[in-house]
Each structure stands twice: as structure tokens, then as C-alpha cells.
Structure 1
Amino acid sequence: MKILAIDTSNQTLSIAVTNGTTVLGELTTNIKKNHSTRAMPAIDELMKKVNVKPKELERIVVASGPGSYTGVRIGVTIAKTLAWTLQIPLVGVSSLQLIAQNASLFDGYICPIFDARRGLVYTGLYKAEQEFVSSVVEDCNILLKDWLDMLKEKDKPILFIGNDVAIHKELIIEQLEDKAIFAPFTLHNPRASELALIGASSEPVDLHTFAPSYLRLVEAEANWLASQKK
């Protein structure tokens, strides 16, 4: 099965084309550039280099959030448009699960972290099961301090992973001490080939109702709701 996998949910842009158990090509960058102008050209370039035509694709897999509001929306919009145009299945995968998948050989809990500002993080708790990771605690948007208080009760070491872990490393060590383990920086970027791996065995979504997973209201919506309550 030929799969196109797309992740634009955070600063990292990652695109991959896979065929069965072969990664035909993968492009990943971690630079501050606008995904709206880079994602489609990157997809086009990669598919041409691996000699795969759009009509040959059999599935689209996209990182569906949480993450950057704009980034998540760009990836999901591209994925839905391609799936609709090509009339092929679409699969959405948690962006946090995708990062956790990089540590699928770790014997313990895996905690991906995306910074959400003001002491908040997007996070979840995963564990490895054979070649995949599975959710132990559902993805959430939570104060990091409250999250770490909960993690203190866990009975295994916890691996923290993701580019935003460095922002919170001091507090994590302070709260969890030796229970906290930090992934090497080479594992912090999401990889679209891992996204394709997860998506190959996942159930497709309903194309019409599928929506990004933001896990919280964007600031403008929150402010509007607060003004209505007043």
C-alpha cells in the first residue's frame, strides 16, 4: 500500500512516501518557516523524486494535532483535500502519539511534550507495545505542574520527548528527580515515516466530519466566549 504521510502540526515539517514496509522517501526540516508556502511544494518534490504519481497513492495519513493552531489546520486541510480529490482513505494520528512513537523501544512510560504557553503543555502518556506505542493517559492540555504531580505516582521511569522538553527540563527534574529520563535530541523531531507506519494499520476517518484535534479553544474563541458570559 502506497501511503503519503504529512505532519505540519508544529515547527517541524515532515513528509514521507512509503510502500508496504519500504520508506521510498522522507523529507524533514525543523526551521521557522511558514508551512502554508512549503508543505505542498515539499509533497510535490518528494513524490517526483520517488517517482510516485498522485493516482498511485492508496492512503493519506496526517498528524491531526494538538500543536500550532495554524500548523495543524494546514496539514489537515491538505490531507482532506488530497484524500477527497483522489478518493482514497484518510487516517488521522495524534501528533503526540507520533512523537512518542520515536521511543517505541523504551521500557517504561513515554511522555511527549508540546509547550502551550503560560505554564501549560499538550501532553499524554504512552507505553511501548511491540512496534507501536499505546495511550496510557489520554492527550490533554494541562498545567505542567499538575501533570508532574500525577506522574510522581507512576511506578516506572518516564521518558520525556519532543523539541519543547528543553523549555521545561528544570521543573521536570525538580519534581520527578531520577524518575525522569530525557530522550536524545535526535529523537525529538516527528518523522512522517513513523506516521505512515501507524496509519497503515489504523482505521480511516469519515472525511466529511474529520477535524483537527486542538485540545483547547484558540485564544480568540476563548476571549469571545468569556465576553458572552459577561
Structure 2
Amino acid sequence: MKVLSIDTSNYVLGIGLLDGETVLGEYISNIKKNHSVRVMPAIQTLMEECNVKPGDLSKIVVAAGPGSYTGVRIGVTIAKTMAWTLKIPLSGVSSLQVAAASAGRYFDGYVSPFFDARRGQIYTGLYKFENQRLEIAKEDQLVMSADWVKALNEMDNKVLFASNDLALHQDVIKQELGNKAVFAEITELNPRPAELALLGRDKEVVDLHTFVPNYIRLAEAEANWLKAQETKR
């Protein structure tokens, strides 16, 4: 079973190929460039190097958010289009879950991946590996980082934080949690597309016509538009 994974939900662009229990290849970059013009060439290059044709694919797995509104939409749109064209199933996986699996597989405690959401807010969730299986301790949410770490301080274990946005929130985390806070190494911060493929390989299939990204919140422009419509009523 050959699985193609696609992650464009944040700055990191990740493409992975999984064949059964073998990772055939991964493409990862963490640069601020337009995913819309880079993702298809990245998919094509990786598949050609791995000698995998589109018709060989059995499933597509996409990082479904949260993250960048535009980035999440790009990845989901491409994944849905490919799955529909190739007539193969599609599964969506939380972008935060991918980050947690990439950094915390062997950490004895909780894992809190997060993405900066501006104005002191973060997209985050809380995870823990139990018997090699990633379990959800707290659902993905949008929250003030200061409120989040206060809630985590009530937990009974250390917490591993994994994020390319660590520098923006590290002081708040340290101040509240002290030695209970552990920070992932820089080599563990980019969500791995192979982890995405593995998480989604056996996950339930989505309906291509109704599947939408998990933005957690509306894009600011959309929220402002809805607010303006309410005012007019």
C-alpha cells in the first residue's frame, strides 16, 4: 500500500511516500515561499525519484489544519483533487498531531505542539504516547499561550513543547512551568511527512465532497466580513 502525504499547513512544506512499513522518501523545507507554486513540483520530483507512478498510489493523506489559512487550503485542495482524479481514498490528520508525533514519540510525558496564531495566541493541543500509540489528552484549540501553560501546570508530568515558533512563547512557558517544560531540539521541530503518512494510513476515509480543512477559527478577513453583515441587520 503506497501512501502519499501532503503538508502545506504552515511554513514547512512536507511531502512523504510510504510503502507498507517502508518510508520510500520525504521532501521537507522550512522556508517562507509560496506553497501553491512549489507543492506539485515537489510531489512530482519525489515520486519520480522513488519510481512511483500516480497509478501506484493507494491513498492520500493530508495535514488538515490548523495553521496558515491559505496553506491549509492549498494542501487540502490539492489532496482532494488528486484523490478524486486517481479514484483513491483520502484521509485528513490534524497538523498538530503530526507535529506531536514527529517530536515526542519517545518522550515520557505530555507533548504540546503549537503554531503561533498572533496576539499572544497559539494553536495547540496536548498529546501523549501510550504503548506506541499517540493519544489525545486535550483537543486541538486556539488559546492564549499564557492561559494554556497555566492549565498545563496543573498536569502531573513534564511537557515537551515542539514548534518552529518556540522563540515567540518560550519566556511565557518557562516563567509558568519552570523545570516541567522541556523544549524539543531544532531537528525535531519540522513535522515529518512520513509521520503524517503513518498516522493517516489506517485512518478513516473522508468524503471528498464534504471534507473541509480544520481552521479552528475563521480567517480574519472572513470574520470581519461576517461581523459587518451582522451590523447591517
- The TM-score range, normalised by the shorter chain, is over 0.9
Tell me whether 141-150 or 54-63 shows the greater mean CA deviation: 141-150
Distance 2:209 2:106 in 1: 36
Superposition deviation, residue 130 in structure 1:
2.8
Which residue is 2:223 aligned to?
Answer: 222
Aligned-partner SS, 2:141: strand
Question: Which residue does 1:157 correspond to in 2?
Answer: 158
Percentage identity across aligned positions? 59
Is 2:114 the partner of 1:124? no
What letter matches 2:151 in structure 1? M
Q: Give the structure 1 partner of residue 208 of structure 2.
A: 207
Give the root-mean-square deviation of aligned CA atoms: 0.9
Worse overlay, 108-117 or 123-132: 123-132
Write out per-residue CA displacement over residues 92-126 of structure 1, whole angstroms, 9 at most, x where no aligned residue: 00000000002111111100010000011000000
Contact 1:104 1:129 in 2 (8 A): no
Q: d(CA) in 2 for partners of 1:187 and 1:158? A: 15
Superposed CA deviations along residues 56-97 of structure 1, whole A, max 9, x for unmatched, are 100000000000011000000010000000111101000000
CA contact (8 A) 1:160 1:180 kept: yes
Within 2, Cα distance between the matches of 1:70 and 1:130? 36
Separation in 2 of the partners of 1:170 and 1:24? Answer: 39
Partner of 2:24: 24
**2:12 aligned residue:** 12
Distance in 2, matches of 1:214 and 1:72, equals 8
**What one-letter code is carried by the residue in structure 1 that aligns with 2:164?**
N
| Cα displacement string for residues 120-173 of structure 1 (whole angstroms, at most 9, x for unaligned residues) | 100000001233311110000111111111111100000000111221001100
What is the distance in 1 between the residues matched to 2:52 and 2:132? 27
Q: Distance in 2 between matches of 1:11 and 1:100?
A: 17
Alpha-carbon separation, structure 2, partners of 1:131 and 1:111: 17
Match of 1:192 in 2: 193
Q: Tell me, yes or no, if the aligned pair for 1:101 and 1:132 is still in contact at 8 Å.
A: no
Number of matched residues? 230
| Secondary structure in structure 2 of the residue aligned to 1:67 | coil
Letter in 1 for 2:71: G
> 1:4: how far off?
0.3
Give TM-score, length-normalised by structure 1: 0.98
Aligned equivalents of 1:155, 1:229: Cα separation in 2 = 44
Distance 1:147 1:49 in 2: 43
* 1:110 equivalenced with 2:111 (yes/no): yes
What secondary structure does 1:116 align onto? strand
Cross-structure match for 1:144: 145
Q: Which residue of 2 aligns with 1:166?
A: 167
C-alpha distance in structure 1 between counterparts of 2:68 and 2:132, whole Å? 28
Contact 1:61 1:90 (8 Å CA) reproduced = yes
Alpha-carbon distance, 1:229 to partner: 3.0
Point out where structure 2 has 5 or more consecutive residues left out of the alignment.
none
- Residue 60 of structure 2 corresponds to 60
Alpha-carbon distance between aligned partners in 2 of 1:84 and 1:225, rounded to the nearest angstrom:
32
Distance 2:65 2:46 in 1: 23
Hey, what's the Cα distance between the residues in 2 that align with 1:169 and 1:84?
Answer: 42
Which moved further from structure 2: 143-152 or 9-18?
143-152
Matches within 5 A, 1:64-83: 64-83=64-83
Gaps of 5+ in 1: none
